Amino acid sequence: MKQTPKPPTPTGRRSHPSNQRGGLSMAWINRAMLLLFILFIMVETLGLRRTFLWKVQDLDLFVFNRQYLAETFDVPGGLARYLASFFTQFFYHPWLGTLLYLGLLLLISWLTSQAFHLKGYLKPFSHIPALALLLMMTELGYEIHLIKLPGYPFVPLIGMTALLLAFEGYQRFTQPKTQLIFMGFWTLLGFPLFGAYALAGTLLMLLRTVRQTLSEGFKHNWLPLTGGLMLVVGVPYLYYRFVFGLPCLSRFYLSLLPDFVDKETLVLWLPYVLLAGFLLTASLAITPDKHAWKNNH
């Protein structure tokens, strides 16, 4: 005798059709924003500045030998300089260099959304750092003939990629001791490779710890806070005294940043201000993981 199947037990929970439609519409909006973002980059580079891109690589000297490699690593941020100068050579064929440039910008947008938990209606904000990086190159104009930073178009992209990867890794640690150890390794190893971007990454880690402390009221975070500040100040000074031979200490803390000091070039700092403002705001607005911190304190 066949048994009549039992009807499903009601759970009392029903997904509202409007919520489903809202989720789908937000996903389509994010896809549309991504396509507009890609289109804007292609227009700003290949569409309007094809000759400029070729000129950028023509003015950038890259030599594939040991002597050039040693000279590049003789200053803070050596790895970023070397890779950036190498990538700039792809602008010899503007379409090829643009594809590489676009790929790095898309990677930075994705890393931004992951590191700062930007989802749903916040997802479009993840393109702000990439747009700021794009403006650093496209608004340079004639200054490209005077700038002294090798591989300038790609230096900020490589620095930001390393910064976001380090910041995402730091958030996976919740105990003060492991946080300080991570910051120490990142600052000591990152500064000679990525210069000021390594210090900026350490500052973001400190801001993240401050945000967590203020929101949850933990009183045991003095170790990563004070230790991180000492790393930001002390590590460049130690490299200045015992490793690198540059005469100006102040440039150590600003390594891989351009030297826009003339009145006519001060406006070129605006993309950097936009990028710094976004990182500051986003790092302080991170929602803390309450359960993880309670389990580790």
pLDDT per residue of the chain (297 residues) written in tens, 0 to 9: 445 555 555 555 554 554 555 556 888 889 999 999 999 999 999 999 999 999 999 999 899 889 999 989 988 999 999 999 999 999 999 999 999 999 999 999 999 999 999 988 899 999 999 999 999 999 988 888 888 888 999 999 999 999 999 999 999 988 888 989 999 999 999 999 999 999 999 999 999 888 877 766 556 677 888 888 999 999 999 998 888 877 677 778 888 999 888 888 899 999 999 999 999 999 888 655 444 444 444
- Report pLDDT for 241: 87
Query: Which DSSP symbol is given to 75?
Result: S
- For the segment 24-37, what is each residue's pLDDT rounded down to a tens digit? 688 888 999 999 99
- Report pLDDT for 294: 43
Report yes or no: 106 and 35 within 8 Å, Cβ to Cβ.
Answer: no
- Report pLDDT for 292: 42
CA-to-CA distance for 227 and 272, rounded, in angstroms?
27
Report yes or no: 240 and 269 within 8 Å, Cβ to Cβ.
Answer: no
In one-letter notation, the amino acid at residue 18 is: S
CA separation, residue 2 to residues 5, 6, 127 (Å): 9, 12, 60
Question: Is 143 in a helix, a strand, or coil?
Answer: helix
Closest CA to 126 of 27, 208, 37: 37
- Report pLDDT for 286: 62
Task: Report the alpha-carbon angle 288-293-297, nearest 5.
Answer: 150
- Report pLDDT for 11: 53
Report yes or no: 41 and 107 within 8 Å, Cβ to Cβ.
Answer: no
Report yes or no: 137 and 275 within 8 Å, Cβ to Cβ.
Answer: no
